[in-house]
Amino acid sequence: MPLKFVRNDITKMECDAIVNAANNSLLGGGGVDGAIHAAAGPELLEECRTLGGCDTGKAKITKGYRLPAKYVIHTVGPVWRDGRHGEPELLHSCYRESLALAKEYGCESVAFPLISAGVYGYPKDQALKVAVDEISDFLLKNDMTAYIVIYGRAEFNIGKKLISDIEEYIDECYIKEHPDQRVQQSYAAGIAASAPLPPKQEKKKRGIFGRKAKDRAEAAYSQMPEEEMFYELSIPENAPAAGGSLDDALKNIDESFSQMLLRKIDEKGMTDAECYKKANIDRKLFSKIRSDVNYRPSKPTAIAFAIALELPMRELQDMLMKAGYALSHSSKFDIIIEYFVKNGRYDIFEINEALFAFDQVLL
């Protein structure tokens, strides 16, 4: 996929170029800069001496020497003051200039650290957002694979509010899927749990399996008609009648994943490229799916397309079914996807940040 998040030391990245978060002198320093110079060897510093420094927000390129990467793109991020001294514009510019250089040198893959997010003090969540915005914008128009290299866990920091909303949603779904006996009993007894929660419970803290979410989920569960507890799986209109021959049944084979994908792209008025880029899917993989009517994608790929097409929950489930998958409340990954779809949030990079934060496979 064109934008990937990886947890790694950037000096180990085997791609055409890695980006260095340097300073104006370009003569080395601490942090990622120090690590890159140490791994590349003294020849890197020698070449850097010939460059005459670099302005903040700009970028310069050198060879990679002893690094696995062919090139190092040195860029100088802004020092964070309060966000009102042009820091965001300068940081955006670092990514734009670095990507432009990577393109000029024919790079097919480039890895970025979170520029300015260390010694220069840029708030990590905001630095990450700038990185994702600028790189994904570039990838919409260019064929390249970009990596955002995450060095420490704290660097990946989607908003606390979003994390707690997702946690609460996971709690609620988990409870619906795994109702304890007490809940089942109250459901059987037809207890309407619409009464407000006792004040003591209302005050309790939220969080993974926190009481408040659990109580609300139990209340919701006990009010829910049985058929709504599970997704409806619609039986196709052309489903063969019981007792027909196997040949007849096979004649009625349903639309495949690939056919549904192409139909939906047309219906949405998108071009193929718009769709696979928005889905963060490689062009070659898309071509394979396009040319093979029976292609069976991986589950994350199928979901990525459904997200790019902004399909509502029911259609997303339908599309997944065609690839042989479903979303279930027994999986955190599935619940997180469902959370975003139900809230109409179809930004694949935001979803990936959340999946990463919850240690799940990314799209």
Distance CA 320, CA 314 (A): 10
Distance CA 315, CA 130 (A): 32
Q: Which of 5, 65, 71, 120 binds ligand AR6 (CB under 6 A)?
A: 120
Q: Is 45 among the residues that bind ligand AR6 (CB under 6 A)?
A: no
Q: Is 64 among the residues that bind ligand AR6 (CB under 6 A)?
A: no
Least CB distance to ligand AR6 at residue 47 (A): 16
Choosing from 16, 33, 318, 334, the catalytic residue is 33
Stretch that binds ligand AR6, among 31-39, 53-61, 223-231, 331-339 (CB under 6 A): 31-39
| Residue 273 contacts residue 266 (beta carbons within 8 Å) | no
For 236, the 3-state DSSP assignment is: coil
Least CB distance to ligand AR6 at residue 300 (A): 24
Q: Is 23 among the residues that bind ligand AR6 (CB under 6 A)?
A: yes
Distance CA 302, CA 261 (A): 9
Q: Which value, to the nearest 10 degrees, does the dihedral of the CA atoms of residues 312, 317, 319, 320 take?
A: 140
Catalytic status, residue 33 = yes
Q: Is 77 among the residues that bind ligand AR6 (CB under 6 A)?
A: yes
Number of helices and strands (H, E) in the chain?
Answer: 16, 6
Radius of gyration of the chain (CA): 25
Report the residue number, 155 or 318, with the smaller CB distance to ligand AR6.
155
Q: State which H helix or E strand residue 272 sits in.
A: helix 272-278
Taking residues 128 to 167 in sequence order and writing x for each that binds ligand AR6 by CB under 6 A, - otherwise, the string is ---------------------x-xx--x------------
Burial of 226 (0-12, 13-18, 19+ CB in 10 A): exposed
Q: Which of 1, 2, 3, 10 binds ligand AR6 (CB under 6 A)?
A: 10
Catalytic positions, please?
33
Q: Where along the sequence are the contacts to ligand AR6 (CB under 6 A)? A: 9-11, 21-23, 29-33, 35, 77, 113-120, 149, 151-152, 155
